[in-house]
Structures are given as structure tokens and as C-alpha cells.
């Protein structure tokens, strides 16, 4: 008994101390974040309502002020609001406003006003504090309301923080349970370890599984079980390090899939060879989120990337079969180019994929166009890529990664020719609601095509749910919502969310100049003076990216805040894209007009608030702009993930700069420390830009650090690893059930 206690007590003491420490750290950090969020929320809300309030104030219309305050607290975490004059007299307030936080009391607490001091000597500064109200914590934020240097008064916003208390309490419970369990299992483990050396146990298990005494007909089955056991052991090692690196991905491939090479099917090639006007051949890195994510994975895994050869010098730089080593000058993997005729490219790429599926899947109010002839080309081109996969496959069961909306039919076509293939399909754009997908005249073929995959991945759970719903409604399929799978014609497809990410650290960062040099060179290129403020946007010129909305937010900012006029410049790096499609041409004209109007309105000699740099920019330039900027705006109207948001964070190893992000991106679910702004709400978007430009350095650093930590951990190697490990499990489970069927038939 005494010997047992000697083993158990130290374990419990250590775990107890760690638990206490973890609980303290988590509580302090969680509170800090929630308070910061509450303050930003108040500032953004007030920023949005400011103009209306000022207008009513100037008219002396107290009723209107009361209504505007009520609107501010309607369906909002802000519970009460109050307006005081510059002399701290009450002007208007919402119903049941707590008397504890009246004008005089807030003035005194915040030292906005010192009682008895002449008015001119009061200091008008924003203030916020955490207070108690009837046993609950509340966050009180007082913001001076100023215009052109004149202080109208003070707005006081009070938010209930009960939810924060509940969350922190839940976190504490969780930590207590977690450490309680660790203590329990730690104590049991220590006791067991003390008694038996664990290796004796695993040796025994191995002897049992591989024992000569077992019946020969079960040997193949036992072999698979052994494989499964060793995979489970390996997977527990996978969780060992938080950061997934190319090397770890390679090891995972070796361990789980015996290092098999990977075949990728993706329309956009990672390297485009073009003939420049001076006759030289140049290599271009296309502006594509898909390429940004997948290329590092291919460099780590090796294999073949099958893509449309779209460059003007692509044929000259490939062999007779359209193959070449990639990246240029290295040979990490093979790029296999497929040549499309002008008609095929028009029907498959511009027509069905980009005038049909692209607007169908994005909620950006563009009408999808479906033409029978485009569909025929789409089908034929999918078949050509599927045939290329079969040519490149070295055995009957290759691992194939089918990418994006260009290839909804290819998975099934590959499956028909290679039934043993492991096919992972990933849809890089949103998957719409079931009602919407049925707009496409060939929706059933699209669903059936994708269900040729072993695993079908989307960025977020919502898109998986939409897909399952469509399969349930429109196909004779069995949908298992618990396991997230669809069985069609006896074949199962798992449907899973795999939020895509970027290489970490990005390779372009290694060669990037230091931040101050980037800033100097970009300021010089844009003709900016020292002390000016720079916002950047980096996009393909696409109507889903909300570029016009972004410019309107800049216009509103300059309209409302005179202090930014002549001082703030927004540089939009816009890569021309799909320019033969009328909707894209229309969008290009629109953003030209809006940018010129804003520049005419607020620009002047040596000052152009919107600089639209319409051309393809290579990644080193893009990174230089990210690093030079005070803020980056990503205002997509709808986006599967949006890797620009993640790249901006990755580029800022100085932990400065603010990300203003649309909530309609997949990235907004992960980069929670960004400032979220609805691009359709011009007032709030402009308030978010102002909040970003005013954000104290310490807060910028704290937000950037949190997002960088997240991206370091959830990088693209982890994205690929999760899919490949799931594929390996799926493959093994398939083989196991096949063997079991064989064994059952034999007996
Ligand atoms: C999106 C798509 C990608 C595509 C990229 C660029 O990110 O999901 O598949 O490559 O846009 O578009 P593009 O038409 O130039 O390939």
C-alpha cells in the first residue's frame, strides 16, 4: 500500500499544480480577449451609427437620438446606451439605462471630466472599464463624439458580460475535468508501468497476432489487423508535434500509404511558361488559391500534377507527352500538361465552369448561364483528364486528388476504369444549398460524378451539409448524417470538412526584405510620403471578391473622417482573370469608374486615395505589399476559404498590420482575431477600416500573434495529412472488409 502511494501521490501533486496553472492562464487570457472584443464591438457599432447621431444632435432632435440609441442596442450584445453633452448633461438614453453609469459618474470614473474643473481642462479620451451591475459583470465603454475637432459629447455603451463569465466557467470546468482525468489515468498508468514493463505487453500482442499457431487461412486477415494496429500506434505519434512540416507529411505518406506517389488533377497549372514580347520564355506563378495551397504539398509528396497547359510557351517547354519536371530547375514532381483546343477551353473552362458553376456556387448575385454545348465540352474534357490519370497510374489502386469545380465528373470516370483507386476530391469553392444546385440542368450528373470519390472534401461543415442534403433529395442514395457519408450503388463516399491553408512558413517570406525596406520601396512606387497610411487588397479581378464594395468603404471613410484625407491610400493589386466573360468585363468597368470617382472627389496634386494596379503580380511583389501595409482588406461577397487573408498574416512576421475580413469567407471561421466587416454594410466596413488604422500596436501584435499561432499549426501540410490519413484508413477498411468477405466465402 505504502509503495503504491509513493508512486501515485507525486503524480497527483504535479498534475494538480499544472491544472491550477493552466486554469489561471486560460482565465486571464480569455478575459483579456473577451474584453478587447467587447470594446472593438462598441467602437465599430458607434462608428456605424456616428453620422446619424451627429445629424440628430445638430438638429437638437432628442427623440431621434433616443430612437438611434435603441436601434444600436436592438439584437446586439450592447444592452444600454447613453449620450451626454460635453458638459456631461444627459441628452438621451435607452430604456432602463442603469443609473450607476450616468453621465457624471462615467465622467468621473473615466477621468473624462474632473468635477469642479473648468470645462476646457477636461481630457476627452475614449475610456472603457469592467464594472459590476447587480451581481453581473458589465463592460462600460465611453467614447467622445467629435467632428472636425469639436466635441459634441460622450456616448456610453454598456454590454453585459454574463456570457463571458459563463464561458470562462465552462472553460474552467473543462480544465478541471481534463486534469482530473489526466490525474486519474496518470496515477493508474504510473502504477501499471511500475508493475509491468509495457513492452512486454506489446510483444505479447505481436506474438498473438503473428503466432505460428494461427490458422493459415487467417494469415492475410491477421496481416491487415497487424497493419491497422501499427497504424493506430503511428497515428498517436502523428499527434506528437503541433507543427506539420513537409518532412512529417512525407513520413505520413510513407507510413500510411507506403510512400505511393500522388496524382493530382487540377485545371490550373502551378507554373505557366509564356513567351514575353522580347521573345524570352518567362515562368509565371498564377494567382490561384488552389495553386498556393497544393503546390507545396506536391513538392513534399512528389507525383504527377495533371493540368491544362495554358501558357503561350507551354508546348515548347514540355516533352512530347506534355510532361516536364517541376518546379522549374528542380524535380520534386512531374507536371503533365493537357492541351485543349480553343473550343474546348471556351466550353469547358469559360463556359460551363466559369459562367455556369462559378456563379451557381457563389452567392454574389450573378446569374449562372448553362449551355448544352458547354456541358458537352465539360464532359469530354473531364473524360480526357480521367484518361490521363489512368495513363499515369502505376498500379490498379493509385491515390488521386481531384481538385475543384472544373472536375465534378472525373471521380466517377476514374472509378469506372480503376475501381480500386483511392480518390480524394476537394471542392475549393462554396457548395450551395440543395435548392440552388438544382438550377443546373445536369445537377444529378454532377452529384453522381463526385460520388465516384472515396472522400469528398469541402472547406466547412455547412458545405458538407448542403451536399448531403442534395444527395438525399435528388439521388437514390443512402445518406448517413452521423458518419457523414453517402452510399450510392453500393459504394460509399465520406463527406468531410478539411479547411485548406497555406504553406508555413511561406517560401516567399524567406527572400522578402525586412518590413521597413518593403515599406520604403512600396511607398516610393506609390508616391507616398512618410507618415501616410497604406491599405492593400490582393485579388483576382473577380466579382465575388467585393472590390467595388471595398472601394466604397474607403470613400465613406474619407467622407466621414477628415483626418484620413490626404493621408490614407488604398492599393489594390488586381490580377486580370477570365477577362473574356462579359460579367468580368462589366465588373472591371465598374471598379474603374468607382476608383476614378473617389480619386476625383478626394484626390489632389500628389494624392490619389485609390491606386488600382491592374496586372499580374508575382508572389515576391505581393509579399512586399503585404509587409508594407497598415491593413489588408479581404471583402469577398462569398468565398470558400480565401487564402489571401492567411497569406497576409503569414507575411507579417513583425506581428503588425490589421486584417479586415469579410464574414462570408471560410477564413473568417478560423481567423477570429481579424476585424470582421460585412462588405454590403458600407458604414460598418468604413468604421472597421478606421478601427484598423487606429488600433494600438500592442493590440495589433496580440491579434497577429494569435492568428500566426493558429496558421503555424493548421498549415497546408496538416490539411493534406488529414485527408491522406483519412484516405489510408478508408483504404485499409476497404481491404479488411474485402478480406473478411473472402474468408466468409472460403469457410
Ligand atoms: C479559384 C478556384 C481555383 C482557380 C482560381 C483561379 O480559387 O477555386 O480553382 O484556380 O480561382 O482562377 P483561374 O480561373 O485563373 O484558374
pLDDT tens, 550-599? 999 999 999 999 999 999 999 999 999 999 999 999 999 999 999 999 99
Among 197, 216, 241, the domain-final residue is 197
Identify whether the C-beta of residue 39 lies closer than 8 Å to the C-beta of residue 126: no
Mean predicted confidence (pLDDT) in 21-36: 84
Q: What is the rounded average pLDDT for all residues in the chain? A: 90
Q: How many CB atoms lie within 10 A of CB 563?
A: 14
Is 642 a pocket residue for ligand 1 (Cβ < 6 Å)?
Answer: no
Helix (H) / strand (E) containing 219: helix 219-238
Q: DSSP label at 352?
A: I
**405 Cα: distance to centroid of ligand 1 (angstroms):** 9
Name the residue of 270, 288, 381, 645 to mutate for ligand 1: max ligand atoms within 8 A of Cβ.
Answer: 288
**Between the CA atoms of 293, 298, 303 and 306, what dihedral angle is there, to the nearest 10 degrees?**
30
Asked whether residue 216 carries a pLDDT value surpassing 80, the answer given is: no
What's the pLDDT score for residue 624?
98
**290 Cα: distance to centroid of ligand 1 (angstroms):** 6
Identify whether the C-beta of residue 413 lies closer than 8 Å to the C-beta of residue 449: yes
**284 Cα: distance to centroid of ligand 1 (angstroms):** 15
Across the strands, what pairs with 265? 306, 402
Sign of the CA dihedral running 609, 613, 614, 617: negative
**637 Cα: distance to centroid of ligand 1 (angstroms):** 16
Name the residue of 404, 501, 641 to mutate for ligand 1: max ligand atoms within 8 A of Cβ.
Answer: 404
Three-state SS at 641: coil
**Between the CA atoms of 728, 731, 736 and 741, what dihedral angle is there, to the nearest 10 degrees?**
170
Q: Count how many residues are written for the chain.
A: 747
What's the pLDDT score for residue 194?
64
pLDDT band at 186 (very low <50, low <70, confident <90, very high): confident
Sign of the CA dihedral running 685, 689, 690, 691: positive
Which triple of cell numbers denotes residue 336?
503533365
Is 289 a pocket residue for ligand 1 (Cβ < 6 Å)?
Answer: yes
The whole-angstrom separation of Cα 427 and Cα 405 is: 6
What's the pLDDT score for residue 117?
59
**460 Cα: distance to centroid of ligand 1 (angstroms):** 18
In a shared domain, residues 604 and 689: yes
Q: Which residue has the higher pLDDT, 3 or 440?
A: 440
What's the pLDDT score for residue 207?
47
**289 Cα: distance to centroid of ligand 1 (angstroms):** 7
Identify whether the C-beta of residue 460 lies closer than 8 Å to the C-beta of residue 497: yes
Identify whether the C-beta of residue 536 lies closer than 8 Å to the C-beta of residue 522: no
Q: How many CA atoms lie within 13 A of 460 on its CB side?
A: 17
Cα 236–Cα 237–Cα 240 angle in degrees, nearest 5:
105
In a shared domain, residues 3 and 80: yes
In a shared domain, residues 22 and 132: yes
- Cell 483579456 -> residue: 32
Is 392 a pocket residue for ligand 1 (Cβ < 6 Å)?
Answer: no
In a domain, 502, yes or no: no
In a domain, 599, yes or no: yes
In a shared domain, residues 642 and 687: yes
Q: Which residue has the higher pLDDT, 729 or 116?
A: 729
**540 Cα: distance to centroid of ligand 1 (angstroms):** 9
The whole-angstrom separation of Cα 104 and Cα 551 is: 41
Residue nearest to atom 14 of ligand 1 (CA): 578
Which triple of cell numbers denotes residue 429?
469553392
The string of pLDDT tens digits covering residues 77-134 is 889 999 988 888 899 999 989 988 898 888 877 766 655 556 555 666 788 888 888 8
In a shared domain, residues 390 and 487: yes
Among 480, 497, 514, the domain-final residue is 497
> Burial, 212: exposed, middle or buried (Cβ in 10 Å; 0-12, 13-18, 19+)?
exposed
Residue nearest to atom 16 of ligand 1 (CA): 268
Q: Give the structural domain span for 560.
A: 531-713
In a shared domain, residues 567 and 658: yes
In a shared domain, residues 486 and 560: no
Is 545 a pocket residue for ligand 1 (Cβ < 6 Å)?
Answer: no
Q: What's the structural domain count of the chain?
A: 3
Backbone angles phi, psi at 424, to 5 degrees: -105, 115
- Here the CATH number for the domain that contains residue 24 is 3.30.450.20
Name the residue of 270, 290, 401 to mutate for ligand 1: max ligand atoms within 8 A of Cβ.
Answer: 290
Short-list 262, 277, 266, 351, CA closest to 309: 266
Which triple of cell numbers denotes residue 299?
513538392
The string of pLDDT tens digits covering residues 665-723 is 999 999 999 999 999 999 999 999 999 999 999 999 999 999 999 999 999 999 999 99
Which triple of cell numbers denotes residue 490?
453500393
SS (H, E, C) 404-470: CHHHCCHHHHHHHHCCCCEEEEECCCCCCCHHHHCCCCCHHHHHHHHCCCCEEEECCHHHHHHHHHH
Three-state SS at 552: helix
Name the residue of 274, 289, 545 to mutate for ligand 1: max ligand atoms within 8 A of Cβ.
Answer: 289
Strand ordering across the sheet containing 262-265: 323-326, 333-338, 303-308, 262-265, 399-403, 422-426, 455-458, 491-497, 485-488, 478-480
Asked whether residue 219 carries a pLDDT value surpassing 80, the answer given is: no
Asked whether residue 545 carries a pLDDT value surpassing 60, the answer given is: yes
The whole-angstrom separation of Cα 540 and Cα 591 is: 13
Q: How many CB atoms lie within 10 A of CB 571?
A: 21
Identify whether the C-beta of residue 259 lies closer than 8 Å to the C-beta of residue 549: no
Asked whether residue 200 carries a pLDDT value surpassing 70, the answer given is: no
Is 411 a pocket residue for ligand 1 (Cβ < 6 Å)?
Answer: no
Asked whether residue 291 carries a pLDDT value surpassing 90, the answer given is: yes
Short-list 618, 548, 622, 542, CA closest to 576: 542
In a domain, 446, yes or no: yes
**634 Cα: distance to centroid of ligand 1 (angstroms):** 17
In a shared domain, residues 407 and 315: yes
> Burial, 273: exposed, middle or buried (Cβ in 10 Å; 0-12, 13-18, 19+)?
buried
In a shared domain, residues 184 and 293: no
What's the pLDDT score for residue 217?
52
Is 288 a pocket residue for ligand 1 (Cβ < 6 Å)?
Answer: yes
In a shared domain, residues 264 and 176: no
Pairing of strands 136-147, 127-133: antiparallel
What's the pLDDT score for residue 373?
98
Q: Which of 118-122, 226-230, 264-268, 601-605 has the lowest mean pLDDT?
A: 226-230
What's the pLDDT score for residue 234?
47
**354 Cα: distance to centroid of ligand 1 (angstroms):** 9
The string of pLDDT tens digits covering residues 615-668 is 999 999 999 999 999 999 999 999 999 999 999 999 999 999 999 999 999 999
Pairing of strands 303-308, 262-265: parallel
Q: How many CB atoms lie within 10 A of CB 118?
A: 7
In a domain, 466, yes or no: yes
Amino acid at each position: 500500500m505504502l509503495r503504491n502511494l509513493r508512486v501515485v501521490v507525486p503524480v497527483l501533486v504535479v498534475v494538480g499544480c499544472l491544472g491550477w496553472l493552466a486554469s489561471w492562464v486560460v482565465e486571464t487570457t480569455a478575459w483579456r480577449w473577451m474584453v478587447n472584443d467587447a470594446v472593438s464591438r462598441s467602437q465599430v457599432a458607434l462608428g456605424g451609427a456616428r453620422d446619424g447621431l451627429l445629424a440628430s444632435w445638430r438638429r437638437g432632435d432628442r427623440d431621434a437620438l433616443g430612437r438611434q440609441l435603441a436601434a444600436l442596442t436592438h439584437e446586439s450584445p450592447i444592452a444600454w446606451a447613453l449620450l451626454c453633452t460635453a458638459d456631461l448633461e444627459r441628452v438621451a438614453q435607452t430604456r432602463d439605462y442603469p443609473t450607476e453609469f450616468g453621465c457624471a459618474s462615467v465622467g468621473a470614473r473615466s477621468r473624462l471630466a474632473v468635477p469642479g474643473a473648468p470645462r476646457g481642462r477636461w481630457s476627452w479620451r475614449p475610456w472603457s472599464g469592467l464594472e459590476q451591475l447587480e451581481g453581473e459583470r458589465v463592460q462600460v465603454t465611453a467614447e467622445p463624439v467629435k467632428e472636425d475637432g469639436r466635441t459634441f459629447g460622450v456616448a456610453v455603451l454598456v454590454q453585459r458580460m454574463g456570457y463571458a463569465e459563463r464561458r470562462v466557467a465552462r472553460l474552467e470546468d473543462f480544465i478541471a475535468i481534463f486534469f482530473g482525468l489526466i490525474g486519474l489515468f496518470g496515477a493508474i498508468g504510473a502504477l501499471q508501468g511500475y508493475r509491468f514493463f509495457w513492452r512486454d505487453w506489446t510483444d505479447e500482442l505481436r506474438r498473438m497476432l503473428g503466432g505460428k499457431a494461427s490458422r493459415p487461412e487467417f494469415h492475410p486477415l491477421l496481416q491487415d489487423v497487424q497493419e491497422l494496429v501499427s497504424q493506430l500506434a503511428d497515428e498517436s505519434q502523428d499527434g506528437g508535434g503541433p507543427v506539420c512540416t513537409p518532412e512529417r507529411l512525407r513520413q505520413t505518406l510513407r507510413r500510411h500509404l507506403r510512400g505511393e506517389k500522388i496524382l493530382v488533377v487540377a485545371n490550373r497549372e502551378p507554373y505557366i511558361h509564356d513567351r514575353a514580347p522580347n521573345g524570352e520564355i518567362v515562368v509565371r506563378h498564377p494567382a490561384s488559391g488552389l495553386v498556393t495551397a497544393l503546390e507545396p504539398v506536391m513538392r513534399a509528396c512528389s507525383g504527377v500534377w495533371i493540368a491544362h497547359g495554358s501558357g503561350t510557351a507551354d508546348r515548347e517547354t514540355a516533352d512530347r507527352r506534355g510532361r516536364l519536371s517541376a518546379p522549374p530547375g528542380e524535380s520534386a514532381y512531374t507536371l503533365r500538361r493537357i492541351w485543349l483546343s480553343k473550343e474546348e477551353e471556351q466550353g469547358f473552362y469559360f463556359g460551363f465552369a466559369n459562367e455556369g458553376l462559378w456563379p451557381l456556387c457563389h452567392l454574389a448575385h450573378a446569374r449562372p448561364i448553362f449551355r448544352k454545348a458547354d456541358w458537352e465540352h465539360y464532359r469530354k474534357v473531364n473524360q480526357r483528364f480521367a484518361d490521363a490519370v489512368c495513363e499515369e497510374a502505376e498500379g490498379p489502386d493509385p491515390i488521386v486528388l481531384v481538385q475543384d469545380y472544373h472536375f465534378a465528373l472525373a471521380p466517377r470516370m476514374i472509378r469506372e476504369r480503376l475501381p480500386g483507386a483511392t480518390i480524394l476530391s476537394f471542392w475549393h469553392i462554396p457548395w450551395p444549398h440543395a435548392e440552388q444546385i438544382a438550377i443546373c440542368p445536369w445537377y444529378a450528373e454532377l452529384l453522381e460524378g463526385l460520388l465516384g470519390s472515396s472522400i469528398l472534401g469541402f472547406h466547412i461543415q455547412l458545405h458538407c451539409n448542403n451536399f448531403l442534403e442534395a444527395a438525399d433529395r435528388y439521388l437514390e442514395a443512402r445518406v448517413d448524417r452521423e458518419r457523414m457519408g453517402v452510399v450510392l450503388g453500393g459504394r460509399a463516399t465520406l463527406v468531410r470538412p478539411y479547411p485548406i491553408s497555406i504553406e508555413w512558413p511561406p517560401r516567399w517570406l524567406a527572400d522578402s526584405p525586412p518590413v521597413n525596406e518593403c515599406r520604403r520601396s512600396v511607398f516610393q512606387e506609390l508616391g507616398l510620403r512618410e507618415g501616410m497610411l497604406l491599405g492593400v487588397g490582393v485579388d483576382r479581378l473577380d466579382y465575388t471578391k467585393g472590390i467595388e464594395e471595398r472601394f466604397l468603404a474607403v470613400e465613406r471613410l474619407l467622407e466621414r473622417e477628415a483626418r484620413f484625407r490626404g493621408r490614407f491610400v488604398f492599393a489594390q493589386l488586381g490580377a486580370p482573370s477570365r477577362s473574356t466573360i462579359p460579367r468580368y468585363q462589366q465588373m472591371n468597368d465598374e471598379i474603374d469608374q468607382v476608383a476614378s470617382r473617389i480619386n476625383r472627389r478626394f484626390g489632389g496634386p500628389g494624392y490619389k486615395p485609390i491606386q488600382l494596379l491592374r496586372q499580374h503580380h508575382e508572389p515576391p511583389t505581393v509579399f512586399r505589399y503585404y509587409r508594407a501595409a497598415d491593413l489588408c482588406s479581404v471583402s469577398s461577397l462569398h468565398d470558400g476559404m480565401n487564402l489571401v487573408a492567411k497569406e497576409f498574416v503569414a507575411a507579417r512576421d513583425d506581428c503588425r498590420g490589421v486584417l479586415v475580413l469579410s464574414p462570408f469567407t471560410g477564413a473568417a471561421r478560423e481567423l477570429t482575431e481579424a476585424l470582421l466587416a460585412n462588405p454590403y454594410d458600407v458604414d460598418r466596413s468604413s468604421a472597421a477600416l478606421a478601427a484598423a488604422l487606429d488600433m494600438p500596436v500592442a493590440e495589433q501584435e496580440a491579434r497577429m500573434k494569435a492568428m500566426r499561432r493558429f496558421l503555424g499549426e493548421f498549415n497546408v501540410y496538416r490539411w493534406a495529412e488529414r485527408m491522406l490519413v483519412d484516405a489510408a484508413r478508408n483504404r485499409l477498411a476497404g481491404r479488411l472488409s474485402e478480406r473478411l468477405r473472402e474468408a466468409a466465402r472460403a469457410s
